């Protein structure tokens, strides 16, 4: 029976991957409390510039900052989505925290997947090269890949060059763009394009298949909690956030 969506993974697998990502969205949006919001110190000096230079009121500004934190969490989940999609191609599997993201069942391919090309600093790049080199050295038939799903070009090249002042190269360590990696694993030149084109229909089919009550999420409470504090303290929203994050700094307890 012909697949409805793409021809390199089953319809069931694609819908399962969409379901997993949907759950990540719900979890990320589910009741962002003040405690969650403060888990990484809020840069209220930057937010002061944002408010003044962009003419945004403080309430809208904080809501936007909360959504930025949610978006950062979602970006990590998008990388996992690609791993799960690629792991559903016949002959391949995902790593499940085994040190690699994707490998072939016969150990002739290992890959580490990054959603964007610019997510690593030089130390991370050096560590990744060494990890891929070790797989290549331990599995003499293996080709090993640094996959950039969203790359600045379309390529499949040996990864060689200078990192932290040292030259790196290996005859079976590559860097590869997302389109080329999808093509390599699936045998379909336009596999990533196929996925892109069917996503709206597949997502819609998934959403129509679930109970509407399943999609209800709690309202983010962080902003309401902060505003409640300002009613007593008489501080502005930004002053309240600054006080609660930095009251131990010299002078900040006077806010």
Task: Report the alpha-carbon distance of residue 35 to residue 232 in Å, rounded.
Answer: 19
The predicted structure's pLDDT at residue 212? 64
pLDDT for 159-175, tens place per residue?
998 888 888 889 999 99
Q: What is the pLDDT of residue 157?
A: 96
CA distance 47 to 56: 10
User: For position 141, what pLDDT does the model report?
Assistant: 96
Give first-to-last CA distance, the chain, whole Å: 68
Q: Distance between CA atoms of 32 and 234, rounded to whole angstroms?
A: 23
User: What value does the mean pLDDT take over residues 17-29?
Assistant: 91
pLDDT at 214 over 70: no
């Amino acid at each position: 029976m012909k697949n409805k969506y793409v021809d390199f993974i089953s319809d069931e697998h694609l819908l399962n991957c969409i379901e997993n990502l949907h759950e990540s969205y719900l979890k990320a949006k589910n009741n962002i409390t003040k405690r969650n919001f403060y888990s990484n110190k809020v840069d209220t000096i930057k937010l002061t510039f944002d408010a003044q230079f962009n003419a945004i009121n403080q309430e809208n500004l904080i809501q936007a900052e909360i959504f930025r934190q949610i978006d950062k969490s979602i970006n990590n989940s998008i990388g996992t989505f690609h791993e799960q999609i690629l792991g559903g191609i016949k002959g391949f599997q995902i790593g499940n925290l085994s040190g690699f993201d994707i490998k072939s069942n016969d150990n002739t391919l290992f890959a580490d997947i990054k959603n964007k090309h610019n997510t690593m600093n030089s130390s991370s790049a050096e560590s990744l090269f060494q990890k891929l080199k070790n797989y290549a050295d331990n599995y003499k038939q293996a080709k090993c890949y640094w996959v950039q799903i969203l790359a600045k070009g379309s390529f499949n090249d040996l990864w060689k060059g200078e990192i932290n002042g040292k030259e790196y190269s290996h005859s079976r360590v590559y860097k590869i763009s997302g389109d080329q990696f999808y093509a390599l694993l699936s045998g379909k030149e336009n596999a990533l394009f196929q996925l892109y084109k069917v996503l709206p229909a597949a997502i819609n089919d998934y959403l129509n298949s679930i109970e509407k009550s399943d999609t209800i999420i709690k309202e983010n409470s962080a902003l309401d909690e902060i505003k409640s504090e300002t009613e007593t303290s008489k501080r502005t929203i930004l002053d309240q956030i600054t006080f609660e994050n930095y009251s131990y700094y010299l002078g900040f307890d006077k806010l």
